Chains A and B, each alone.
Chain A
Amino acid sequence: MNQETKLKLLKQIILISAAFCILVAFLLIVNFWQMKKSNPLESQTIEALVQRLAVDDNNEELRKEIRSFDLLARKAYFTSAWQVKTGAYLLFFGGVVLALALKIRTDIQRKIEPPETITDDPMMNKFVSHRWLLVTGGLVFTLALLSAFLSNDYLKSYDPGQFVDTETSSQTETIEVIPIVESVATEKGDSAILSNAVEPVPQAVAETGGAPDTPKTVVKLAKAEDFKKNQSTFRGFLGQGISFHKNIPTNWDGSSGTNVKWKISLSKPGYNTPVIWGDKLFIAGADKTSRVVSCYNRHTGKLLWEKEADNIPGSPATPPKTTDDTGLAAPTMTVDGNCVYALFGTGDLIAFDLDGNRIWAKNLGVPANHYGHSSSLITWNGKIVVQYDTAKGGRMIAINTANGDFIWDIPRANKVSWSSPTLLESKGKMLIITSADPNVIANDLETGAEVWKSPVMSGEVAPSPGVFNNIIFVSNEYAKTVALDAENGGKVIWETDEYLSEVASPVAINGLLFLATSYGVLVCYDAMTGENVWEKEFSSGFYSSPMIAENKVYIIDMSGVMHIIKADRTGTIVKEPELGEAAFALPVFADGKIYLRGKSSLYCIGE
């Protein structure tokens, strides 16, 4: 065989073996990806089935289904593993053939190369090098200095007593109620929960600065009627979105001042809705520098006090990053007649009495939340309920209103969420209903125990649950709207994916469910069947949730136009007054007035 024939043959071997190696390498990558995908430990199908089994433990069919899925996943995994291993050996031997062919061909073709002429100017090389060395040194030291400015020294914010406190409280993190608050409600019958849930105990609130180790703190707990009279929390009484106030105005114009009783500029930004108790209106705001709670006379708009939430053990030196549409003051506060309680995106939870005296404060841990924490607080029977779903795990927490101690703190499997808890009396228990990915969960308010859960939700859940006659309504964009039977273990009654809410929470009354979307559709469903009764499309979308007052739906769109619609099957539009600025918070009703938080101002509307 002459040299030319040898080279031709070698060229063919090189081409074939190279093509073989590329093909095997490609198949290996595909197989490797497939192997990752079919890892039985990460099978979402099996996980979902196992969760269903947790609800329905005696379902043998479901067990069989899980086993067969598991076997399939394992078979797929091991087959892929075998294929990858075999492919790797094939690639290795293909590589050997290719290498040998290349080696022989190179040896045959080797010849002495002519000397290259180096034309570089050594002086110029050194001169250019010195410049680049200056740049390199400058860059390294600049980056070092930059890191000094960008790094948080958490150690400096450490309070030596901080962990001792949390160690102690960790021992109380059980699902049992620790009777720190003297409550007389626990022995009541079923019907007593709402009618007279929390009877007043004629004692004063704990003194300012009440220490966590205060042996016994007696507080005056408000009645259910008081909660109905006031807007104590996000979405009103029990967080269900229904107001009991009358003579609510339907006509105003924020720009011209028509029917605007007063308007004030807010000192700090925030997306929380104001809360009201008696003559006082409370609102929270925050920016990177500070977090404040402000109290106004709701009749005159006069600022009564404004207090900073600062010097809280465990509070981060630098606030966590949040997006502009969430910020650090998204959670709505809650008030119970004794204190107003505020939660910020830093995880700081603080209580002020109604005169602005600081009662207690603590940090719940900086929430790992890529938009910012937004779940609002709700209070009932001496407990503040916190839905604390973060990227590092979910928690449901009940805090003692008197001294800020944990009553119970229960971890849960839900992913990070932005929705708020809703309360519902069911079978003699006050349930906390929460919606997050993947579970809608009902917890017993008193013990924190999980009463039922339903794995029906997915995605980044922001809408809070709506309630009507023991039916729970949950919705989320890219997921579905579902009606669940609260008295039957959260069983699905109906579901639809026709219109889905991104942020606004559903509200129900008169057998009708109202749902607002971020693209401007307000839809009315039959609450029992899910039938579409009517739908209306508006020019601006909704982040604010619909509220019901005097049998009318009040919902303000992002441009500040309030849509007032009859809460019936006709869906008649009553009025569409304008605020004159963007709005994201909910309307708050009290004694013939509406309080509206615009992007930068707070309005009192009254005819």
Chain B
Amino acid sequence: MKNIGHKIVFLSFFVLILVQANAQRFPKPEFESGYEQPSPTTPEPRSNALEYLDVLILFASLSLASWLVIKRRSRRGVLWLSIFTLLYFGFYREGCICSVGSIQNITLALFDPVYKISITVLIFFLLPLVFALFFGRTFCAGACPLGAIQDILVFRPVSIPVWVRKALGFIPYLYLGLAVLYAATGTDFIICRYDPFVGFFRMDGPYTMIIIGIALLLLGLFFARPYCRVFCPYGVLLNWMSRFSKYHMTITPAECISCKLCEPSCPFDAIEIPVSEKVRTQKVLRQNLKRFSLYALLIPVWMFIGGYAVSSSHVLLSKAHQDVYLSELLIAHPELKSDTKNLDIKAFLESGKTFDELVANASLIRAKFKSGGWFLGGFLGLVIGIMIMNQFVFRTKTIYEPHKGDCFSCGRCMDYCPVVKLK
């Protein structure tokens, strides 16, 4: 559609980053002259003042995005803001601190009394949600570097069938649930580990991370913002908040004339089209009520099945924990116990812990996964149950308006509205 040029520039730029990221570091030379290489040092933490500056910039970005979308109705302004966000929170701050990943910090702080988080992390987690509660997902529009990097590369988006979107829409809940489970058990921060774009921001990263990032960006040329729509766990929370937003952006500033011009404008299929009253016949209503009631009653069943299934898979899920992994490795391969080439084993041996302690802790972690699996599975069962039930809820619509939960408030549709253009 529009703005094709800069997308190609960015694609080329990412190829450049890919090459740089995979440039092999040559091993350090061994000097015969007696020269000793300086030992690596740990960098100082970022100063509080700069952390508060990040918060300030986030607040300013969210405010500006909300103003640009709701008051100024400027797509161009949102675009420039997202480029700024990409440069600041993305390339300058290297993707960290990040509201998306902050879910894990909050979770771990809740479950691990030893783990503390700074006020800035808490603000980064809450601020976009608060803005979403009032103004919709303006965070996605102009303050999220992960969204920005994909948004500027939307080239020729295609509309995805509703059933595909609905089915894929379950994945963010799954990802969110797993992220919380892994953070709560102190296993891993999987959102950060599998962040596909942080490799670009840092111009370095594992080969697979860069490849997945490139693949998502290429996919994003046609399936707009794939990470945001299919994976983003923070998007789940923003979606919930945004549904209640009072001042959400509208396609038209005045009365919608149902001209249909905005229909193809949303690359994210987030525009709800008018639904005629004609489809709501008595027969259809009766059938829907019947199905709605049936699926409502089945929600506890879904929750139980989900809880049982996920809890049963605790053995597999817990293998990601370092202690569980190491314990199983050594039980299955006791010959590796003194393999100092294996860094995990070396680190363990140097920790001074005994194998019994290691295995005892691993068993404890596994037990946590078993109980946590019930909660995660129950949550997923609830989500799938409600999603299915909702398929039998119909609301009559007479105008074109964005879906408050799914809309990223990017403002593209506003440019298509002739009411604005006639002004």
Query: Do B166 and A392 touch across chains, with their CB atoms under 8 A apart?
Result: no
Q: Does A9 contact B (CB under 8 A)?
A: no
Query: Do B15 and A151 touch across chains, with their CB atoms under 8 A apart?
Result: no
Query: Do B275 and A122 touch across chains, with their CB atoms under 8 A apart?
Result: yes
Q: For residue B332, which residues in chain A have a CB less than 8 angstroms away from its CB?
A: 154, 316, 365-366
Contact residues of A with B, CB < 8 Å? Answer: 21, 25, 28, 32, 35, 39, 41, 77, 81, 84-85, 87-89, 91-92, 94-96, 98-104, 106, 110, 112-113, 115-118, 120-123, 125-137, 140-142, 144-145, 147-148, 150-155, 157-158, 160, 162-164, 166-167, 170, 173, 314, 316, 363-366, 368, 388, 392-393, 395
Q: For residue B291, which residues in chain A have a CB less than 8 angstroms away from its CB?
A: 130
Q: For residue A121, which residues in chain B have a CB less than 8 angstroms away from its CB?
A: 279
- Interchain CB contact (< 8 A) of B263 among A115, A130, A131: A115
Query: Do A170 and B337 touch across chains, with their CB atoms under 8 A apart?
Result: yes
- Interchain CB contact (< 8 A) of A122 among B22, B279, B319: B279
Q: Does B122 contact A (CB under 8 A)?
A: no
**Nearest chain A CB to B317 CB, angstrom units:** 8
Question: What are 20 pairs between A and B in contact, CB < 8 Å?
Answer: A28-B15, A88-B16, A99-B7, A103-B5, A115-B260, A122-B273, A129-B162, A130-B391, A133-B387, A140-B309, A141-B305, A144-B309, A151-B313, A152-B315, A157-B331, A164-B356, A314-B334, A365-B332, A365-B336, A392-B336
Query: Do A133 and B167 touch across chains, with their CB atoms under 8 A apart?
Result: yes
Q: For residue A144, which residues in chain B have a CB less than 8 angstroms away from its CB?
A: 309-310, 312-313, 377
Q: How many chain B residues have a CB neighbour from A under 8 Å?
A: 80
Q: For residue B273, which residues in chain A have a CB less than 8 angstroms away from its CB?
A: 118, 122
Query: Do A125 and B163 touch across chains, with their CB atoms under 8 A apart?
Result: yes
Beta-carbon contacts under 8 Å, B256-308 to A: 259-261, 263-264, 273, 275, 279, 284, 291, 295, 302, 305-306, 308
Docked CA distance A28–B316 (Å) = 40
Q: For residue B264, which residues in chain A have a CB less than 8 angstroms away from its CB?
A: 113, 115-116
Q: Does B3 contact A (CB under 8 A)?
A: yes
Q: For residue A167, which residues in chain B have a CB less than 8 angstroms away from its CB?
A: 337, 355
**Nearest chain B CB to A557 CB, angstrom units:** 37
Query: Do A137 and B336 touch across chains, with their CB atoms under 8 A apart?
Result: no
B330's closest neighbor in chain A, by CB? Answer: A163
Beta-carbon contacts under 8 Å, B168-202 to A: 170, 174
Docked CA distance A98–B7 (Å) = 10
Query: Do A118 and B263 touch across chains, with their CB atoms under 8 A apart?
Result: yes
Q: For residue A115, which residues in chain B have a CB less than 8 angstroms away from its CB?
A: 259-261, 263-264
Query: Do B335 and A365 touch across chains, with their CB atoms under 8 A apart?
Result: yes
**Nearest chain B CB to A36 CB, angstrom units:** 8
Query: Do A395 and B174 touch across chains, with their CB atoms under 8 A apart?
Result: no
Docked CA distance A538–B8 (Å) = 66
Query: Do A133 and B170 touch across chains, with their CB atoms under 8 A apart?
Result: yes
Q: For residue B3, which residues in chain A have a CB less than 8 angstroms away from its CB?
A: 103
B165's closest neighbor in chain A, by CB? Answer: A129
Docked CA distance A41–B25 (Å) = 11
Query: Do B4 and A102 touch across chains, with their CB atoms under 8 A apart?
Result: yes
Q: For residue A35, which residues in chain B have a CB less than 8 angstroms away from its CB?
A: 24
Query: Do B11 and A155 touch across chains, with their CB atoms under 8 A apart?
Result: no
Docked CA distance A87–B2 (Å) = 29
Considering residues A39, A102, A129, which has the most beta carbons from chain B within 10 angstroms of its beta carbon?
A129
Q: Does B218 contact A (CB under 8 A)?
A: no
Question: A155-B363, A167-B337 are known contacts. Are A95 and B20 too (CB-CB below 8 A)?
Answer: no
**Nearest chain B CB to A364 CB, angstrom units:** 6
Q: Does B110 contact A (CB under 8 A)?
A: no
Query: Do A123 and B279 touch across chains, with their CB atoms under 8 A apart?
Result: yes
Beta-carbon contacts under 8 Å, B49-74 to A: none
Q: For residue A364, which residues in chain B have a CB less than 8 angstroms away from its CB?
A: 335
- Interchain CB contact (< 8 A) of A155 among B324, B333, B354, B381: B324
Query: Do A128 and B162 touch across chains, with their CB atoms under 8 A apart?
Result: yes
Question: A116-B264, A316-B332, A365-B334 are known contacts. Are A95 and B11 too (CB-CB below 8 A)?
Answer: yes
Q: For residue A25, which residues in chain B have a CB less than 8 angstroms away from its CB?
A: 15
Q: Does B254 contact A (CB under 8 A)?
A: no
Q: For residue A173, which residues in chain B have a CB less than 8 angstroms away from its CB?
A: 338
Q: For residue A148, which residues in chain B have a CB less than 8 angstroms away from its CB?
A: 309, 312-316
Docked CA distance A295–B167 (Å) = 60
Q: For residue A99, which residues in chain B have a CB less than 8 angstroms away from its CB?
A: 4-9, 12
Query: Do A39 and B24 touch across chains, with their CB atoms under 8 A apart?
Result: yes
Q: Does B216 contact A (CB under 8 A)?
A: no
Q: Does B328 contact A (CB under 8 A)?
A: yes
